[in-house]
Amino acid sequence: RLDSLAEQLNDDLLYLSQVDHSIKEHIGIILSRYDAGDWSNYQTYHELQKYADSNKLINSIVYVTEQSDSLISTKLPVQYKDGTFYFQEDSTVLSFNPTPYYGASSGQLIYLCNEHLEHLIYFPPTQTTSDYVYFYVLNYSDIQQQLANMTSKELPAVAFVNKDKQIAIGVNDNLL
């Protein structure tokens, strides 16, 4: 059962890599980096929304350009200031500074949380000199449901842990 889950998540992440490649090569999105106009932002939003809708793993795509000073999020309310993204839900704010992930040769899964808010981020490989940044907020509840579907009497708890061995997402993780 774990092999099946690992294969499904691997397939989802491979598809996410294909989406990522398509976004990097999309001429309309490339041109939007140099145009801060409302029409350009509108078109970019709709193109990104198509990509977000194409993969159940994606909750939202967040995209910011330095040159045109545009911030687009396909679903979640996000603000951007001084290199840091701020997710806000009601009165709770969760920050994400992508700087440590710049220049990575492979995509990074990043778990963000505070007392009231949690997000799982897929940060694609980027260049350190890039004038734009984008990343994917993954569908946390969908991943958690996939984990829940794997539990049984023999396997009562399932969780993903980060490099610091903290549980990022899990089902019955109190049993671990």
Q: Tens digit of pLDDT per residue, the chain (176 long)?
A: 667 777 877 788 788 889 989 998 999 998 888 887 889 899 999 999 999 999 888 999 999 987 767 899 999 999 999 889 999 988 899 999 998 888 888 888 888 988 889 899 999 987 666 788 899 999 988 888 888 888 888 888 888 776 677 787 888 888 87
Written in H, E and C, the secondary structure of the chain is CHHHHHHHHHHHHHHHHHHHHHHHHCHHHHHHCCCCCHHHHHHHHHHHHHHHHCCCCEEEEEEEECCCCEEEECCCCEEEECCEEEEEECCEEEEECCHHHCCCCCCEEEEEECCCCEEEEEECCCCCCCCEEEEEEECHHHHHHHHHHHCCCCCCCEEEECCCCCEEEEECHHHC
